Chains A and B, each alone.
Chain A
Amino acid sequence: MSSDFQEQSGAVQVRGGLTHRQKTLLNVAALLCCLGILALFSRYGSEYHVRILNNMAIFITLAVSYNLVNGVCGILHLGPNAFVAIGAYTSALLTLSPSEKQINFIINDLIWPLSIVQVPFALSLVAAGIMAALFAFIISFPVFRVRGDYLAIVTFGFGEVVRVLCNAAQSITNGPLGLKNLEPYTNLWWSWGIAILTIVSITKLINSSYGRAMKAIREDETAARAMGIDPFRQLLLAFLISAFFSGIAGGLLAHLITTISPTLFMFTLTFNLLIIIVVGGLGSTTGAVIGAILFAWGGEALRIVENPMDIGIITIPGIPGMRMVVFSLILMLVIIFAGHGIFGRNEFSWEMLARICLRGGKRVGSP
């Protein structure tokens, strides 16, 4: 029985194509390729392009970690803006120099230990992640008592609570004035480094036993419980990891735009992330990455529709906001023609790429 089964599984592996080693090689090659492109951009790219790339990386980090909760666990969580806000404020308060803090806080003074500390950027990012995860841990008890629409409402509520707190807790966040003059630490290496770290570690988690347990909860929570899975523990794990990476992304965002205020972390941020992962394909990390890239790049590329245009005899004057109209049209088209998003629940794999290339090659070769 056993040897028979060994042979069969061996045969499947050969037919499947690539060995583990080949895949690792390809992954390393792809990573080096990415780093090469980044090096080129950081040396020769214009400030505008670098800015878009940084934005892209931050949105990738956010979308991939958001997808872990919404797509993989199947939980409609609507409060990632809270995690981003907490991460951004934590990291900003930790990197600002004491003198800058004094200039920033003109109405109320910053409370004591925060007013004198200053730590390196890397450490502040770790703190940002931990603070966001801590917040996630505290809210997880009420949040995971409910499911479905109720959970959506509860998380949405906590998202708003954090924004309101940012406005009100003036001696910590400086209220509506926000924090200004942050050092622009975020560069391509930081943002893409974190993005790649997020993608790799979350993908590994999803493909592990933990990921399977999360998917099982998404597919059928009752059956998952009958298989010995404690839904609370698994959902909490996903929630904490998601919050951790979102917090770090918040820290990166703060040091990219160098000025943060509560308006930055409104529900629109959550809404954008939701669009990204739905368009990319709920439950697919590849989809989240593609969605984030399209969102960050598309948002800029679509600026041309706001310029005055000459189409033959008609002249369209430049309409500000036209970009959003076109954007929503594209969104509707994606949902109509690809109901489950661009990638559905599929993931990128080298085999898939090979299949597409081979099929394309055949089509070109055949008469």
Chain B
Amino acid sequence: MSFFEMRHVIVQFGGLCAVCDFSIALSAGQLVGLIGPNGAGKTTVFNTITGFITPDEGDIFWQGENIRAYPAHRVTASGIARTFQNIRLFADMTVLENVMVSFHYSIQSDFLHAMVGSPKYRRVEAEIREKSRRYLYELGLGHLSSEKAATLAYGQQRRLEIARALATGPKLLLLDEPAAGMNPIETIELAALIRLIRDKYGVTVFLIEHDMKFVMGLCERIKVLDYGKSIAEGTPTEIQKDIKVIKAYLGSGYYAAG
């Protein structure tokens, strides 16, 4: 049984086949990239894994369970966390509160304790606060904890999204274009951060990215998607030489001419 596996997943939007017969298997601790031209269906794959879309056909196995019909919150509770392509922070809440939200699903205290502010609840709250602070310091956001999330710089907002996803305690972390809009230095820092997260927390990372230098440098394996179909899979060097991938990115004419 594999760590994580998608088997023959099909997602259709009306007549359009957004994801057609997509299969992938990830093993624990890997750093895997998902690339493909715009509109290839990469984000749809992520949405399907995280329960925002239920696939029309196919199964998703996660640690021995078929999670294809799980709602989003249950997928997260089972140990898969994600970030979003267009940053989705809780803008009007502080940086610390943004991370603290991630602990809510696992809270061991009912609302009546919270309403009377019982000692038991206060302990839970203090624990959540301390753990959240740890994640923020880990990602270099500790000094910003009482700022509103909306006031952070772009790169910091991306980091906060990662911190928030990590705080849910995932075993599989999905990053949707984590380097989008970052400058070259920030991108290098981000790659180091993602490696650190993988090594320190032992999470498997599956990421979508358009920055080829970033993906080739960071990922151990890469999957290429085009028009909802998987066209190649392999190590970065294999992918760079793959004829189908070059065709998908540059058009068949380029290959013929070259």
Contact = CB atoms under 8 A, between A and B. Distances in A.
A358 B165 CA distance: 41
B140 interface: no
Given A5-B134, A225-B73, A216 B114 contact: no
Given A208-B114, A228-B105, 6 more contacts: A4-B137, A8-B142, A208-B125, A209-B128, A225-B76, A228-B168
Interface of B: 50, 52, 71-74, 76-77, 81-82, 84, 88-93, 97, 100-107, 109, 111, 114-117, 121, 124-125, 128, 133-134, 137-138, 142, 146, 164-165, 168
A269 interface: no
Given A204-B115, A208-B121, A212-B97, A229 B104 contact: yes
B104 A210 contact: yes
A209 B115 contact: no
A215 B115 contact: no
Contact of B81 (A211, A219, A220, A226): A226
7 contacts: A2-B134, A204-B117, A215-B90, A216-B101, A227-B101, A229-B73, A230-B71
Contact of B164 (A4, A211, A213, A227): A227
- Most A Cβ at <10 Å: residue of B72, B81, B91: B72
B253 to A, nearest CB: 40
Given A5-B137, A209-B103, A227-B104, A219 B91 contact: yes
Given A204-B115, A216-B93, A219-B92, A227 B102 contact: yes
B107 A209 contact: yes
Contact of A212 (B52, B74, B76, B104): B104
A222 B52 CA distance: 9
B133 A9 contact: yes
Contacts of A229: 73, 101, 104-105
A222 B76 CA distance: 12
B89 A205 contact: no
A264 B164 CA distance: 47
A9 B71 CA distance: 37
A216 B146 CA distance: 16
A209 B122 CA distance: 10
Contacts of B138: 1
A58 B149 CA distance: 36
- Most A Cβ at <10 Å: residue of B100, B105, B121: B105
B90 A204 contact: no
B107 A226 contact: no
A224 interface: yes
A204 B113 CA distance: 10
Nearest to A213: B104
A102 B165 CA distance: 63
Contacts of B168: 227-228
- Most B Cβ at <10 Å: residue of A1, A202, A219, A220: A219
A201 interface: yes
A235 B104 CA distance: 14
Interface in A119-133: none
Nearest to A233: B73
Interface in A14-45: none
Contact of A201 (B71, B103, B116): B116
A227 B117 CA distance: 24
B90 A216 contact: yes
A1 B121 CA distance: 27
